[in-house]
């Protein structure tokens, strides 16, 4: 190896023999890597995204294991019911198709639906109220850390904070 100095910087010039040795070493390392046994975590990282859609789980359970679902990808054939991650959210395919750029889940409401946590509406599992929701009599809703019981159906979505609807549609639980 020849070391030259140019403007205070070192420059290396390798002989053909030195380059051949470096290339041979790189090939050897690559072969060793290709032949080493895979770790359990490497196998699981390949297996889980391929198999997770075969599990029969409810939406709340699917959300708890969201990170294991495959990422949405363009030019991929998707079947109805298949779940994918995209933009930090979990989506379900509602119409079989082959995906295209521009048909990302948030851009293709006819192809995907976002999977959200479901709530029973009991006092132990109240429905989070975010405004722009119709309220159903007999169900419990939560806004902030306050729980309210709906006393009368609103039929149409309401937009006001639940605290402003006390006496009209809800009562504090």
pTM of the model: 0.57
Per-residue pLDDT tens listing for the chain (173 residues) = 555 656 667 777 788 888 888 899 898 888 878 888 989 999 998 899 889 999 999 999 999 999 999 999 999 999 999 999 999 999 999 999 999 999 999 999 899 988 988 899 999 999 999 887 899 999 999 999 999 999 999 988 898 999 999 999 999 99
How far is Cα 119 from Cα 128, in angstroms, rounded to an integer? 8
Match 């999977």 to its residue by tokens.
115
CB distance 142 to 127 below 8 Å: yes
State residue 8's pLDDT score: 66
Q: Could you tell me which residues are beta bridge partners of residue 12?
A: 3
State residue 160's pLDDT score: 94
How far is Cα 52 from Cα 95, in angstroms, rounded to an integer? 19
């Amino acid at each position: 190896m020849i070391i030259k100095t140019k403007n205070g910087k070192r420059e290396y010039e390798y002989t053909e023999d030195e380059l051949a040795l470096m290339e041979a070493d790189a090939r050897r390392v690559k072969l060793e890597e290709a032949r080493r046994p895979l770790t359990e975590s490497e196998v699981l990282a390949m297996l889980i995204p391929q198999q997770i859609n075969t599990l029969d789980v409810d939406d709340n359970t699917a959300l708890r294991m969201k990170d294991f679902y495959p990422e949405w990808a363009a030019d991929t054939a998707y079947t109805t019911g298949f779940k994918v991650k995209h933009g930090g959210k979990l989506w379900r395919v509602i119409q079989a198709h082959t995906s295209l750029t521009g048909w990302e889940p948030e851009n293709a409401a006819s192809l995907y639906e976002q999977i959200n946590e479901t709530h029973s509406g009991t006092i132990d599992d109240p429905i989070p109220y975010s405004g722009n929701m119709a309220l159903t009599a007999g169900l419990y809703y939560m806004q902030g850390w306050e729980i309210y019981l709906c006393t009368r159906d609103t039929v149409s979505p309401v937009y006001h904070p639940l605290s402003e609807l006390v006496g009209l549609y809800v009562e504090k639980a």
